[in-house]
């Protein structure tokens, strides 16, 4: 797990000293609780292997959780992590470093796709294992008092892990959206100073805005003179789509470049005229090939057939 | 007042670099400086380089349009060059498409566009 990512979650969740103190106050997790847990450490050490072992029986006993324990090395590694986590509950500390480790757990679960349901179900099992351990070590009376402190810390942990899970999920979604945006506005360099923007899929106002910004940036960067916008892949061209195309064309012109609109089939042509959309100021073509030919002529180029003698 | 705009003659074309931080007053001054320069020295065309502007508001947009119209009355064609992508996007979103202004990517392209316009006029 990337440390920078953990830093990010810590920032997003605003986990600083003040927040830590506030949370501990709300969970009634005092230093006395931590001291009580630290005193139980020898008992915890004695039972750690057995607890982890039983815990893994639950995980391997269910089809969903078993999937996350596919290979032996993962299992060994997780067993060790689990043992350290277990002993960590009896370390007698609850500082920002401790918080960070809990955030790491939630983020790791998100990364591997283990939803909170499985985490909470497993944790419930974990609690009951620890309760049995406390009863066998301290008797019913002593176990009850110790369990109270343990429960506070456990709920404190679970809250952090769940929040980190949600935060990680949000950043995953954000990443995916960025990837989709990137994919949805590909501007292709067709020839020297000629760009092609094939629009595929529905164009809403948000996407139209992205398309225009991206297109303008690329025109300026590539010093393009002509850009072909092919709308053959746009399922519905209504007044709003037409309006954003007109706006984009106007902006392209302000940069000193020209737009050619291609992919206008019979249906779109009819719709445009029936809607009264004025596209006469734009270069328009039905076929992309014709648009390319026009674009090349605008930059002083021409496609010519190879003469018979030149053919291979 | 004078805006202290620097003028450059390239191939007989007057090239004006519009200064950044254009207030309304300075925009007015740039306009009158440019027109006076045209009156006194003549020009084969006018290139207004707005590459230094990171914003263009409605007033400046109008000044640009008007300057082009005024220069046309004096027999000179104008090209506005180097409009930044974000400026173009904002202008269009505000509804300013500047249809009567000729545009080009940069000074060089602007001069070429003037040459072409001149060739078709003859």
Distance from CA of A213 to the nearest CA of B (A): 7
The band of A210, judged by pLDDT with boundaries at 50, 70 and 90, is: confident
- What was the pLDDT predicted at A32? 94
Q: Find out whether A194 and A295 touch, Cβ atoms under 8 Å.
A: yes
Is a pLDDT exceeding 80 seen at residue A183?
no
d(CA B49, CA B6): 11
- What was the pLDDT predicted at A220? 94
Size of interface A-B (CB pairs under 8 A): 55
Contacts with B92 from chain A: Cβ below 8 Å: 212, 247-248, 250-251, 254
Among B49, B53, B88, which would you mutate to test the A interface (most chain A Cβ atoms within 10 Å of its Cβ)?
B88
Higher pLDDT, A308 or A121: A121
Minimum mean pLDDT range among A4-13, A54-63, A127-136, B24-33: A54-63
- What was the pLDDT predicted at A60? 86
Is a pLDDT exceeding 90 seen at residue B118?
no
Bridge partners (DSSP) of residue A259 are: A227
Q: Tell me: the pLDDT tens digits for A79-112?
A: 888 888 899 999 999 999 999 999 998 998 898 8
Among A220, A249, A254, A281, which would you mutate to test the B interface (most chain B Cβ atoms within 10 Å of its Cβ)?
A254
Q: Tell me: the pLDDT tens digits for A243-257?
A: 899 999 999 999 999
Contacts with A253 from chain B: Cβ below 8 Å: 97, 103
Is a pLDDT exceeding 80 seen at residue A1?
no
The interaxial angle of helices A3-12 and A116-184, nearest 10 deg, is: 100
Is a pLDDT exceeding 80 seen at residue A308?
no
Mean of the pLDDT values across residues A220-236?
A: 93
Q: Which of B99, B103, B110 sits opposite A255 (nearest CB)?
A: B103
Distance from CA of B39 to the nearest CA of A (A): 27
Per the CB < 8 Å rule, is B103 touching A220? no
Q: Tell me: the pLDDT tens digits for B73-86?
A: 999 999 999 999 99
Q: Which of A213, A248, A254 sits opposite B83 (nearest CB)?
A: A254
- What was the pLDDT predicted at A68? 81
Closest CA to A114 of A54, A48, A67, A44: A67
The band of A309, judged by pLDDT with boundaries at 50, 70 and 90, is: low
Higher pLDDT, A294 or A77: A294
Distance from CA of A179 to the nearest CA of B (A): 22
- What was the pLDDT predicted at A24? 95
Is a pLDDT exceeding 90 seen at residue B71?
yes
Per the CB < 8 Å rule, is A254 touching B103? yes
Per the CB < 8 Å rule, is B97 touching A250? yes
Q: Tell me: the pLDDT tens digits for A130-162?
A: 999 999 999 999 899 899 999 999 999 999 999
Q: Which residue has the tokens 């935060």?
A: A167
Is a pLDDT exceeding 90 seen at residue B110?
yes
Is a pLDDT exceeding 60 seen at residue A312?
no
Is a pLDDT exceeding 80 seen at residue B4?
no
B91 touching A, CB under 8 A?
yes
Q: Tell me: the pLDDT tens digits for B19-36?
A: 988 888 889 999 999 999
d(CA A200, CA A209): 15
Mean of per-residue pLDDT scores for chain A: 89
Mean of per-residue pLDDT scores for chain B: 90
Per the CB < 8 Å rule, is B104 touching A256? yes
Q: Tell me: the pLDDT tens digits for A19-44?
A: 999 999 999 999 999 999 999 999 99
Q: What's the pTM?
A: 0.62
Q: Find out whether B59 and B24 touch, Cβ atoms under 8 Å.
A: yes
Rounded to two decimals, the ipTM of the complex is: 0.87
Contacts with B98 from chain A: Cβ below 8 Å: 254
Contacts with B87 from chain A: Cβ below 8 Å: 254
d(CA A137, CA A145): 13
Strands (E) in chain B, as ranges, are 7-10, 13-17, 46-49, 78-81, 102-104
Per the CB < 8 Å rule, is B105 touching A223? yes
Higher pLDDT, B105 or A310: B105
Closest CA to A284 of A261, A255, A268, A312: A261
């Amino acid at each position: 797990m990337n440390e920078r990512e953990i830093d990010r979650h810590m920032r997003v969740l605003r986990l600083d000293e003040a927040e830590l103190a506030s949370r501990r106050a709300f969970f009634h997790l005092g230093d006395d609780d931590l001291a009580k847990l630290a005193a139980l450490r020898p008992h915890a050490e004695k039972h750690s292997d057995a607890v982890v072992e039983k815990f893994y029986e639950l995980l391997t006993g269910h089809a969903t959780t078993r999937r996350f324990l596919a290979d032996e090395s993962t299992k060994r590694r997780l067993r060790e992590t689990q043992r350290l986590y277990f002993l960590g509950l009896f370390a007698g500390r609850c500082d920002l470093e401790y918080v960070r480790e809990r955030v790491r757990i939630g983020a790791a679960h998100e990364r591997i796709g283990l939803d909170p349901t499985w985490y909470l179900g497993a944790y419930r099992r974990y609690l009951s294992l620890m309760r049995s351990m406390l009863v066998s070590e301290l008797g019913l009376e002593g176990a009850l008092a110790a369990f109270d402190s343990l429960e506070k810390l456990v709920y404190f942990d679970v809250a952090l892990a769940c929040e980190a899970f949600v935060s990680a999920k949000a950043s995953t979604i954000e990443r995916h959206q960025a990837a989709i945006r990137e994919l949805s506005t590909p501007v292709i360099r067709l020839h020297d100073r000629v760009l092609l923007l094939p629009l595929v899929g529905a164009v809403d106002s948000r996407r139209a805005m992205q398309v225009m910004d991206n297109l303008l940036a690329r025109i300026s960067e590539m010093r393009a003179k002509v850009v072909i916008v092919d709308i053959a892949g746009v399922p519905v061209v209504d007044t709003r789509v037409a309006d954003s195309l007109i706006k984009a064309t106007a902006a392209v012109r302000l940069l000193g470049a020209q737009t050619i609109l291609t992919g206008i089939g019979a249906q779109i042509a009819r719709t445009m005229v029936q809607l009264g959309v004025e596209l006469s100021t734009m270069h328009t073509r039905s076929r992309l090939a014709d648009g390319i030919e026009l674009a090349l002529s605008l930059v002083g180029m021409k496609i010519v057939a190879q003469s018979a003698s030149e053919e291979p | 007042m004078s805006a202290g705009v620097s003028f450059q003659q390239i191939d007989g074309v007057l090239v004006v670099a519009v200064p950044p931080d254009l207030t309304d007053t300075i925009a007015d001054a740039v306009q009158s400086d440019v027109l006076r320069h045209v009156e006194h020295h003549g020009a084969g065309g006018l290139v207004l380089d707005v590459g230094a502007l990171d914003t263009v508001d409605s007033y400046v947009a109008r000044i640009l349009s008007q300057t082009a119209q005024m220069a046309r009355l004096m027999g000179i064609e104008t090209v506005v060059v180097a409009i930044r992508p974000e400026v173009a996007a904002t202008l269009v979103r505000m509804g300013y498409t500047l249809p009567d202004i000729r545009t080009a990517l940069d000074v060089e392209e602007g001069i070429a566009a003037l040459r072409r316009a001149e060739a078709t006029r003859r």
